[in-house]
Amino acid sequence: MKTLGIVGAGTMGAGIAHVASSAGIGVILYDPSAAALEKAMRRIEADLQKGAEKKLYDQPHVGKSLSRITPKSSYEDFAPCELVIEAAIEDLAVKREIFTNLERVCAPGTLIASNTSSLSITSMASRLNIPERFAGIHFFNPVHVMKLVEVVAGHRTSPATVERASAFARLMGKTPVSVRDTPGFIVNRVARPFYGEALRLLGEGVATVEEIDRIVKHEGGFRMGPFELMDLIGIDVNFAVTQSVYEQTFGEPRFRPHPIQRKMVEAGLLGRKTQRGFYDYPE
């Protein structure tokens, strides 16, 4: 693969661009917001510099990786891409509009994929002219650290598309796992009770945020507690995924969102990206 397209310069889009450029792939990073593109490039450079400081690679690698990323604000720039990954917000209508624009400019052989963490791949592909070339390629945050990638086949995704998507993940040093198109796929399905029970314990006054995280880490052996992890992912993102899984499973009580999540999103307390969530993160 020579050229990868990415729609969305947020946390996940920037992370995918970082890893792809480090693997020697040219990246077209699209976002309608110039500010978002500038912020993404600063973040990618900072993360690459951290890798050089840790001796994961030499300093020239940083410059070469950055030079492979081209920020763009027009869909027409995706024409030469062999794969385009959508990494926008978890909103089905927004994603469908993106895919309509991509089909307009991409060649018939171009793979189109979504980095969605919960929405139905089958539903997203239902209005495409060539649904066989569409799949889910779900990375995890932080992308340059997490090795797993869920490759999700929708009802009409072809086996060749699944193989090409898996080969792309391996090219970037990731471990792909083939997943059925089910609400939350594997990881987010398993994770819902992890967050949900922690929120219920907090809401019932059983224990504090710090106590729950400390017990999970020190007694359970987890690297991060549920509240630390929600802050890292983004409380708004976590809430949206929980809502999506709950709705797609027709109101399964195990996946019901908690009012604490909604209140924090409404207050703008989204975790690390806003410097305040369940914990404070000074600049």
Give first-to-last CA distance, the chain, whole Å.
Answer: 38
The residue from 138, 166, 238, 258 that is catalytic is: 138
Residue 247 is among the residues annotated as catalytic for this protein: no
Residue 188 is among the residues annotated as catalytic for this protein: yes
Is the separation of the CB atoms in 213 and 279 below 8 Å?
no
Pairing mode of beta strands 3-7, 26-30: parallel
The residue from 188, 228, 238, 258 that is catalytic is: 188
The residue from 115, 117, 118, 166 that is catalytic is: 117
Number of H helices, E strands in the chain: 11, 8
Partners of 134 in beta bridges: 112
Q: 129 phi and psi, to 5 degrees?
A: -70, -35
Q: 26 phi and psi, to 5 degrees?
A: -70, 140
Q: Residue 244 half-sphere exposure, CB side, CA atoms within 13 Å?
A: 22
Is the separation of the CB atoms in 82 and 113 below 8 Å?
no
Q: Please spell the DSSP secondary structure of 59-88, one letter per residue.
A: HHHHHHHHHTEEEE--GGGGTT-SEEEE--
Residue 150 is among the residues annotated as catalytic for this protein: yes
Residue 144 is among the residues annotated as catalytic for this protein: no
Is the separation of the CB atoms in 78 and 102 below 8 Å?
yes
Residues that are catalytic: 117, 138, 150, 188
